[in-house]
Structure 1
C-alpha cells in the first residue's frame, strides 16, 4: 500500500510543477493545503494565498522546473510523505530573472482523502565554479 501512495505523490509533484509553469492557479489550489508554508530559496516564507497571488498576478512566472529524478527521494510516514530532491528552476519575478539549482523538501499530508502539500522549503545550491 505504501508504494501506491508514493507513486501518487510522485505524480502530484509532477502535476504541481507543471501547474506552476502553466500558471494554473486553479490546479495549484487543489494541490496545496490551505495552511501551506512555502519557503523560497531566498528565505521568504509565503502562505498559500500569497504564493498563488504572486503567480496569478504575474509577479512570479515559472518558465521551467527540471527535477533530477535520480536525486528525488520519497519516504512515507503514515499519512505523510516527505519528498527531497534537486531541481533546476527558471523564473521571472518583479525584481528580475532567476535561474538556479536547488535542493528541496516538500511535505505531503493525506487530508480528506487527498494528498496536499503542507510545506515546501528550497535552498539554492552553491555554483560549482
Structure 2
C-alpha cells in the first residue's frame, strides 16, 4: 500500500518544481503546518503565496531513503532530501531529513504536516 503514497509524494515534488499552485492547493490540507529547516513555519496560505508569487522557487528536489508507515488514516513518510531553492533571489542548497504526514480524506489523501531537519556537513 505504500506505492499510492509515494506516487503522491512524486506529485508533490513535481508541483513544487513547476510552481503548480492548483495542484498544491489540492494536495495541501486547509490546516497544513509546514515547518521549514530554518524553524520558520507556514500554513497552506503562506506556502501557496510564497510559491505562487515566485518568492520561493524549488529548482531541484531529490528524495531518497523514503519509508512509509501507516497508522489508520494517517501515512507518515520519512527520508532524506537534497534541494536547491531560490529564496527571494538567493540560491540555497538544502540537505535535510524530513517527515511528512498525509491524512486520508473522503476524496483522497492530503498533506497535513511537513517537518524538516537540516543535515550538518560531515567532515
Q: Secondary structure, in 3 states, of the residue corresponding to 2:17?
A: helix
- Please give the residue correspondences for 1:108-127 in structure 2 after superposition, counting only pairs within 5 Å: 108-127=102-121
Aligned with 1:59 (options 51, 55, 75): 55
Aligned counterparts of 1:32 and 1:100: Cα–Cα separation in 2: 22
Q: Secondary structure, in 3 states, of the residue corresponding to 2:120?
A: coil
Aligned counterparts of 1:72 and 1:98: Cα–Cα separation in 2: 23
* Correspondence 1:77 to 2:68: no
Aligned counterparts of 1:57 and 1:46: Cα–Cα separation in 2: 15
Measured against aligned partners, the alpha-carbon deviations of 1:94-116 in whole angstroms (never above 9, x if no partner) come to: 16111021100000000123100
Aligned counterparts of 1:128 and 1:27: Cα–Cα separation in 2: 36
**Which residue matches 1:43?**
39
TM-score by length of 2: 0.97
Q: Gapped runs of 5+ residues in structure 2?
A: none
| TM superposition outliers: structure 1 runs of 4+ over 3 Å | none
Q: CA RMSD in A?
A: 0.9
